[in-house]
Amino acid sequence: MAETFEITYLVTVQQGEQIDQKIEGICLEQSAELPRGVLSDEIQKKVVGEPIRQERLTEGAYEVTIAWPSADVGDDISQFINILYGNISLQPGIKIIGAEWAALHPRLFCGPKYGIQKLRKRYAVPERPMSATALKPMGSSASELADCCYRFARGGIDIIKDDHGLANQDFAPFEERVKACVSAIEKAAESTGRRSCYYPNVTSFASEAVDRYRKAAELGADGVLLCPHIAGLETMHRLARLDIDLPIIAHPSFSGGLTTIGKQGLSPDFLYGQLWRALGADFVIYPNKGGRFSFTLSECKAINEAARSGDSPFMSSFPTPGGGINMETVGHWKSEYGNDVVFLVGGSLYEHPEGIRTASELLQDKLKT
Amino acid sequence: MAETFEITYLVTVQQGEQIDQKIEGICLEQSAELPRGVLSDEIQKKVVGEPIRQERLTEGAYEVTIAWPSADVGDDISQFINILYGNISLQPGIKIIGAEWAALHPRLFCGPKYGIQKLRKRYAVPERPMSATALKPMGSSASELADCCYRFARGGIDIIKDDHGLANQDFAPFEERVKACVSAIEKAAESTGRRSCYYPNVTSFASEAVDRYRKAAELGADGVLLCPHIAGLETMHRLARLDIDLPIIAHPSFSGGLTTIGKQGLSPDFLYGQLWRALGADFVIYPNKGGRFSFTLSECKAINEAARSGDSPFMSSFPTPGGGINMETVGHWKSEYGNDVVFLVGGSLYEHPEGIRTASELLQDKLKT
C-alpha cells in the first residue's frame, strides 16, 4: 500500500452483526462506496481502507484501526472530514477515537500557531492556571459590554471573551463592540499596570469570519473566539494560517450531537482535544463536569490530556473547561487538572454580591495560591 | 414582545428533572446565558426566549414551543444556528422538531431556487419519479468516470452525480472530471435524443465551493452536489443565492450525529426536510429505510412530507432517498412515497450482470410504469 494515515474506531456490534463484516463495511463505505465484487484489484489496493489492528475490549466492543490511502484525501481537509466520519455518521455503533496526526501534518493540518508555552510568555503568566470569562448578556449595548469588560479587567481576569451569542446584532454591532471593549481593556490597564486580553467573537459565514478576524486585529483585540461547528471546521484552519497575530479560542456550540451520543460520534477527547488542536485552536473550550452539561470527569481529563499531549506533531492547545467553576470549586479543579488550564468562569462572577470587579480579584487570588 | 420566531422542541425529562425548569433553562441558555436573577427586566423582555406552548406527549416527554426575539439573530444564519441548537446541543433530552419558517423568510432564509415543478419542467419529466445515480468509485480516472457517466446516460438515468467522495484528488481532478463528464453527457444525448444531467461534487471550503460552483456552470454541468455539513450549512444558502443557474443536491455526509441520536439532536424531517429546504437545497438526499443506514419508514415519510409540504414559504425540495433501492424494490418505494421523489440508485446498477447501460434502461422502464 502507498502512503497512508490511520484512524482508530470504537466499533460496537449489535445482535446479528459480525465485527469483521462491520469493519469491511467501514473500509468500503468511506472510500469506493461499492461492494468489493465490482471493484478492480487496482481500485481495491488504491483507495479501500485496510484494517491493521483489532482488539476486543468487552462483549461486542472492539477498538479497530484502519489505514487509509493518503491519496483518498489529497490536500483537502473537507475530504478528510468525509473519510473520517461522512456516511458512517449515519450508522450506529461507530465512534472515532483517534487519528495518526503525524501522517497528516503538515500536509493537511498545522495545529495551533502558539502553544501553551508561547501563550504563557505572551501574557506573562509563567505558571499558574489562567482565567477567562465571557461578556454578556446578549441584548446589552456595546458600551454596557465595555463597562462589564472594564470591571473584569480591573479585577485582573486574564482573558475576557465575547459570549458566543454576540454576533453582529443591532444591540452591539461587531465593530462598535470591539472598539469599545479594546478601549475598556486599555483604560483598565492604565490603572492596574497589567493588560487583560479581549477576544471578540468572529463566528459567521467563512468569508465574514476571515473579515472579522482581520478587523479584530486592526482594532487592537488580543485574540478571537470562533464556533468552528457553525463557521465550518475548515474555517478555523484557515484563520490559524493567516498571517495575523491573534490566537483562537474554539467554542463547542452546535458540536454536542457529535460528542454526546454514546456509541456513535467522535469521542470528546478526539473532537475537542485532537481534531480542534489539529485545526489550529489555541484554546479549546469544553463543558466541564458539574456544570450545566454532561461530560464525566474522566472524559474531561482525557480532553486535557489530548490537548496538551507532547505525543503530537502540533503545538499544544490550552484546555479551557467551562461550567461548574467558581470561587469555591476552582481550587478543586486546579488539583484535578493541574496548572496548564484556563478556567472559564461566567455566571458566578456576575452573581457575586460584591460585584464583578471584586469577584474577579478574589478569583485571581485563588489562582495564584 | 417584539417580532419573534418560534422553535418547537421535543423535551424529555430524566428522573429528578422538572419540565418547567428544563424549559426555563433552554430560554436562558440560548440567549442571555446568565441566571435570570442577574438580568434586568429590559434584557429579560428583549432577548430571553418565551415558552408559548407545552403539550405532554407521554410520561416525561413534552412538545414545547418557544418564541425567540428576532433581534437575537439579526440577519445572520450562523447566529440562527447558535440559537437553534448551540449550547443545548451539549445537553441531553432536547430535540428540535420544528421552526416557524414564515417568520424567518425571506430575511434569513430564501429556500430552493427552483422547486419540484420548475425542476420537472426544466428536465421535461412531468409526472413520474426521477432517477439519480452516483459516479464512482473514487480512484477512477476522469475518463473512467466519464465512461461510466456515458453508460448511465445512454441508459437514460435522469441525474448522474459525482459520488460525494470525489473532491479534487489527483485520481480525477475537479476540472478535468467535469469536462470529461459533460462531454460524455453530450455524446450520449446525440444518440438518445434526450440529455441526462450531470451534477459534480463541489464540497470544499466555503470559498472554494463557490469557485467550483461557478466553474461547474462555466463547464456546462447541470447542477452540483454539496455536503452542507462539511462545507458549512451557510455555504449552501450562499450558493443558492448566487446568480448561477444550477440546482443543488444536498448530501448528508457528516450529519448523522445530529439526526440519529434518539432524544437529542434534530429530527430527520427537521434537518433534511425543513432546515436544508430553508437553506436552498433543491434535492435532499437522505438514507432510505432498508439501505445500509438506520432511518425508519415513518421517519423517511416525514422527511418527504417536510420537503414537499405546501405549508411552507419556500419552494419545495425534491426528496431523494438513497439506499436499499433497486430494480426489484423501486415499485414498492414508488407506492410508498408517491411520484414526487428522486430515487438514488447506486450499487445495484454497477452490480447488474448485463452492465450499467442495460440496468439503467430497465430502471427507467420501471419508473415509467
pLDDT tens, B257-298? 899 878 999 999 999 999 999 999 999 999 999 876 679 999
Chain B nearest C-alpha distance from A127 (Å): 31
| Nine cell digits for residue A325 | 467553576
DSSP 8-state assignment for residue A127: S
Output the pLDDT for position A324: 85
Q: In this model, does residue A309 exceed pLDDT 90? A: yes
Compare CB distances from B137 to A47, A92, A253 and report the shortest one's residue.
A47
Q: Tell me the pTM.
A: 0.97
Flag if A33 and B138 touch (Cβ within 8 Å). yes
> Mutate which of A230, A266, A296 to test chain B, going by most B C-beta atoms within 10 A?
A230
Q: Cβ A205–B235 below 8 Å, yes or no?
A: yes
User: What's the order of all strands across the beta sheet hosting A50-58?
Assistant: A50-58, A61-69, A4-12, A94-99, A265-266
State the burial class of residue B304 (Cβ atoms within 10 Å of its Cβ: 0-12, 13-18, 19+).
Answer: buried
Query: CA-CA distance, B345 to B341, in Å (whole number)?
Result: 12
CA distance A24 to chain B (A): 13
In this structure, are residues B23 and B64 in contact, taking their beta carbons and an 8 Å threshold?
yes
Mean pLDDT for all residues in chain B: 96
> Of A136, A169, A258, which is closest to B74 when you measure between CB atoms?
A169
Distance separating alpha carbons of residues A81 and B135, to the nearest angstrom = 20
Q: Is A350 on the interface with B (CB under 8 A)?
A: yes
Q: How far apart are CA A62 and CA A26, in angstroms?
A: 14
Cell numbers that stand for A163 in this block = 459570549
Rounded CA-CA distance B13/B18 in Å is 7
**Contact state of A34 with B346 under an 8 Å Cβ cutoff:** yes
Lowest pLDDT segment from A88-92, A98-102, A162-166: A88-92
Residues of B in contact with A165 (CB under 8 A): 30-31, 33, 72, 79, 82-83, 86
**Cell numbers 415543478 label which residue?**
B117
Q: Comparing A32-41, A285-294, B5-14, which segment has the lowest mean pLDDT? A: A285-294
Q: Say yes or no for a CB contact (<8 Å) between A76 and B169.
A: yes
End-to-end Cα spacing for chain A: 55
Chain B CB within 8 Å of residue A1 CB? no
Enter the C-alpha cell of residue B163: 459520488
Contacts B35 to A, Cβ<8 Å: 347, 350-351
pLDDT at A292: 67
Task: Give chain B positions within 8 Å (CB) of A238.
Answer: 205
CA distance B193 to chain A (A): 30
Spatial CA neighbour of A359 closest among A152, A192, A166: A152
- Say yes or no: A14 contacts chain B, CB-CB below 8 A: no
Residue of A nearest to B173 (CA): A74
Contact A238 B39 (CB under 8 A): no
**Residues 165-184 in A contacting B (C-alpha not used; CB under 8 Å):** 165, 167-171
Q: Would you say residue B41 has pLDDT above 70?
A: yes
Chain A residue numbers with beta carbons less than 8 Å from the beta carbon of B235 are: 205-206, 232
Task: Tell me whether B220 touches chain A (CB under 8 Å).
Answer: no
How remote is the C-alpha of A137 from its chain's centroid?
Answer: 23
- In chain B, the residue whose alpha carbon lies closest to the alpha carbon of A22 is B292
Nearest residue, CB atoms, B35 vs list A252, A294, A351: A351
Q: Which residues of B touch A96 (CB under 8 A)?
A: none
Check B205 against A89: CB less than 8 A apart. Answer: no
* pLDDT (0 to 100) of residue A4: 97
- List chain B residues with CB under 8 Å of A32: 136-139
Sign of CA dihedral B337, B339, B342, B346: positive
Closest residue in chain A to residue B96, using alpha carbons only: A257
Cβ–Cβ under 8 Å, residues A166 and B45: no
Partners of A292 on chain B (C-beta within 8 Å) are 25, 29, 87, 91
Question: Is the bond preceding residue A247 a cis peptide, omega within 30 degrees?
Answer: no
Residue A260 contacts B where some CB pair is shorter than 8 Å: yes
Hey, is the C-beta of A163 within 8 angstroms of any chain B C-beta?
yes
Cell of A89: 455518521
CB proximity under 8 Å: B 100-119 to A: none
Band the pLDDT of B169: cuts 50, 70, 90. Answer: very high
Ramachandran sector of residue B17 (left: φ over 0; alpha: ψ -120 to 50; beta: rest): beta
pLDDT in tens, A318-365: 999 998 899 999 999 999 999 999 999 998 999 999 999 999 999 999
Check whether B1 has a pLDDT greater than 60. no
B300-353: per-residue pLDDT in tens?
Answer: 999 999 999 999 999 999 999 998 899 999 999 999 999 999 999 998 999 999
User: A281: closest CA among A312, A258, A327, A256?
Assistant: A312
Query: Between chains, do B346 and A203 touch, taking CB under 8 Å as contact?
Result: no
Please give the helix or strand (H or E) that residue B343 lies within, else none. Answer: strand B342-344
Task: Give the minimum alpha-carbon distance from B220 to chain A in angstroms, rounded to a whole number.
Answer: 24
- What is the structure's pLDDT at A54? 98
Provide φ and ψ at A90, rounded to 5°.
Answer: -95, 0
Calculate Rg over the CA atoms of chain B. 22
pLDDT at A369 over 90: no
pLDDT of res. A261: 76
Hey, CA dihedral for A29, A31, A33, A39, is it positive or negative? negative
Q: H/E element holding B159?
A: strand B159-162
Helix (H, G, I), strand (E, B) or coil at B276: helix
Chain A: give the shortest CA distance to residue B110, in Å.
16
Strand pairing partners for B65? B8, B53
Tell me the chain A residues in contact with residue B92 when contact means C-beta distances shorter than 8 Å: 260, 294
Phi–psi pair at B150, nearest 5 degrees: -60, -45
Instruction: Please list every residue in chain A whose beta carbon sits closer than 8 Å to the beta carbon of residue B31.
Output: 137-139, 165
Q: Do A30 and B165 lie within an 8 Å CB cutoff? A: yes
Give dist(CA B97, CA B306) in Å, integer. Answer: 11
A134 and B CB contact within 8 Å: yes
pLDDT at A1 over 60: no
The residue type of B251 is: H
CA neighbor of A237 nearest in space, from A351, A361, A69, A80: A80
281-310 in chain B: CB under 8 A from chain A: 287, 292-294
Q: Which residues of B touch A27 (CB under 8 A)?
A: none
> Per residue in B242-266, is it b (16+ CB within 10 Å) or e — as a string?
eeeebbbbbbbbbbbbbbbbeebbb
- Distance between A196 CA and the closest CA of chain B, angstroms: 22
Look up residue A291 and give its three cell numbers.
456544570
Q: Which residues of B touch A43 (CB under 8 A)?
A: 137, 139-140
B/e letters for A116-135, b = 16+ CB within 10 Å, e = fewer, are beebbeebebeebbbbbbbb
Phi-psi region of B345 (alpha: psi -120 to 50; beta: other; left: phi over 0): beta
Predicted pLDDT of residue B205:
97
Could you give phi then psi for residue A295, rounded to 5 degrees?
Answer: -80, 155
Handedness of CA A302, B82, A93, A6 (dihedral sign): negative
pLDDT surpasses 90 at A260: no
Q: Is A138 on the interface with B (CB under 8 A)?
A: yes
Rounded Cα distance between B73 and B109, Å, is: 12
| pLDDT tens digits, one per residue of B212-246 | 999 999 999 999 999 999 999 999 999 999 999 99
Q: Where does the pLDDT of residue B369 fall: very low under 50, low under 70, confident under 90, or very high at 90 and above? A: confident
- Residue A335, judged by CB atoms within 10 A of its CB (0-12, 13-18, 19+), counts as exposed
Q: In angstroms, rounded to a whole number, what is the distance separating the alpha carbons of residues B121 and B196? A: 14
Within 8 A of A90 by CB-CB distance, chain B residues are 252, 255-256, 259-260, 287, 293-294
CB contact under 8 A, A77 and B168: no
Report the complex ipTM: 0.97
Q: Write out B184-223 in H/E/C secondary structure.
A: HHHHHHHHHCCCCEEECECCCCHHHHHHHHHHHHHCCCCC
Residue B324 pLDDT = 85
Q: Measured between CA atoms, how close is A260 to chain B, in angstroms?
A: 7
